[in-house]
Structure 1
Amino acid sequence: MYLVESKGGAIACMLLALLSLGTWPAILTLLERRGRLPQHTYLDYSITNLLAAIIIAFTFGQIGSTKPDSPNFITQLAQDNWPSVMFAMAGGIVLSLGNLATQYAWALVGLSVTEVVTSSITVVIGSTLNYFLDDKINKAEILFPGVACFLIAVCLGSAVHRSNADDNKAKLRDFEMAKQEASGPSTEIETNTSKDLETNATNRTLAKPKEGTARFLIDLENKRAIKVFGKRKIIGLAITFFAGLCFSLFSPAFNLATNDQWNRLKQGVPKLVVYTAFFYFSVSCFIIALILNIGFLYYPVLGLPKSSFKAYLNDWNGRYWAFLAGFLCGFGNGLQFMGGQAAGYAAADSVQVLAIHLFSKDFGIIQESIFMVLNQCFEYFVS
């Protein structure tokens, strides 16, 4: 079994996790904006998320030598370690609930604001809990000023959401007023200029609307799966805060699973290694996602259309991108936990949150271009 024991190895794991955990939200957001039902996307995502955990467990969890206090993955499956297993599975449940909630919050609130608020709540609550669970191995004078900054970010993110909502309402109101004025009594137009005006009008109609404009918002609303017009913005913010609370609890639960700070294991039973804990963590994450999303197929929320399991199986539009998002999230979480075992989960949480802040902001701007380029490359190689 491979264990990360050095600070350098922990940093390398967290740096690799930065890329993975910062990328997958943008992929799911873009699929929703292109009209794919979030239930279909999340089911696909959950499959490869679990597959990533299985791959990590049977590779890193099996290679190398083992010790009595650090058995390999398969050996530990047969041991009486259910108290720790339950903590790991509880962590997977709250993570799955958080990820599922953010999929709807991204549409209602926006990718950047959602990630800033949820990840800031994660630091404020999760990193504080992990600091004490890790026996204070991280420096408080460095950690807690950062926690205070993230607490401020929660307040600022909420204010930005309110400002964006008011701004969008104003744009749509002005657009409707301008449209009504344009449809009023028309003046006579000279015959020799009518063709040019029609051509210009056609060009304006076919031109892609500028991002952030009222026409862009209307065009996006027509294409996306989750319709946001007419929905109270407080709903999106409430979902965001719920997701942040879930995210703040999964890492402390995983910490308890691997380190047994509350001494729940029987005498002589080794603690869960990170790979075994991550396996159980991902299994529970998959089970809760499967149950909830199959239910949402037939009883959708937020005005989404009904679907079915057969319709899901036949929906291949964007499926490979959802699979990719699941792999990225699964490997990212695994690397985060591997690094957190050596560097402390409080530090791992803080680094991961910083990455999500940066990547969500950048991908919120350039995700469309990246998706189009990669899609063209994929079609080229397939053909």
Structure 2
Amino acid sequence: MVACEEDQARLAKGESVSALDEAANSGLVDPSDAHRLDDNALSSWMTANVEGFRGPLNASKFRGGQSNPTYRIQSADGVYVLRRKPPGPLVAGAHAVDREARVQRALSQVGFPVARIHGYCADKSVIGSEFYVMQLVEGRIFWDATFPGVSREERPSYFNAMCDVIAQLHSVDPASIGLGDYGKPGSYFARQISRWTRQYQDDPEAGRDANMDHLVRDLPGMIPAGDEVSIVHGDFRCDNLIFHASEPRVIAVLDWELSTLGHPLADFAYHAMMYRMPPHIVAGLAGADLAALNIPGEAEYIDRYCRATGREVIADWQFYVAFNFFRLAAIMHGIAGRALRGTASSAQAIERGKAFPELTALAVRALEEPS
């Protein structure tokens, strides 16, 4: 989610908000006809399936380009959040709101911080597509990775909280909470590199890049030996976390659309990539004075994750970082291609596509670092 300038400024300061409420793109709008809900049908379904629900209800859509349209549901008993598949023809396997609901419901069994899932509906006749209803979590979202609204003394505690939560996620046995079949186990890097290589090579209109060609050629032979499998979030960043209103504590992790079974070090390196990420691309710390801000450095952050997950060290760290810059570069390349063809859904697609060569350069730079 990307907030409007006013909301983004408020959120960067860490002001208390309702997540997926004022935090969502530019707040609320009346849904267009294509996205309008049948309030009566939805109210009937919630009465039958959501404990404690009392109608009538009023639905407003969060503005923005989320791939799964998200709504604020105001009812007589309180406020809920609804996420649905978008209407119309969809690519097979995309917009899997059932998976989002499933992983959050499963993780809640072991006390992992997620929004409570009130119900999932596979019956498309209710509102026109599958959907689920979840808790509206009150707290703070930080869109700036430097946490500017937090005191210098408290800032390390917020970073420790982020690190501890992703370590907690990777320590959960998927099979123990019914997620043993949540993805393909094993060979995660080989499959991912192959997938994103194909996307890059199959879209020549978006351009070619010498650094990307280098990564396509060399990354497959650099995959570290051994394998691990855990639940991975896929987009673990500070702006996908809800913090307690006044404490350095994560109370909910949002946006599970990319979650699957994968390699935990791929997921952690994506998160820790914030240390090298230019903030104009996505929430990042590149160029920030970490000492002045009292933010733990990359090495210290990695050490905390290792201690929380029972590791001594992370060998081949440069590969894990380079892989994630490569993956993100491939995604941006695809966005650039869709923008050129006029099929990109986001108004920022062209600007996002411009990040592609910058990301490939960062990937190659990571590989060139001494081990």
TM-score bracket relative to the smaller structure? under 0.3
**Structure that is richer in strand per residue:** 2
Bigger Rg, which one: 1
Q: Comparing both chains, which one has the higher relative contact order based on Cα–Cα distances under 8 Å and sequence gaps of 6 or more? A: 1
**Structure that is richer in helix per residue:** 1
Could you tell me the TM-score, scaled by structure 2's length? 0.26
Could you tell me the TM-score, scaled by structure 1's length? 0.25
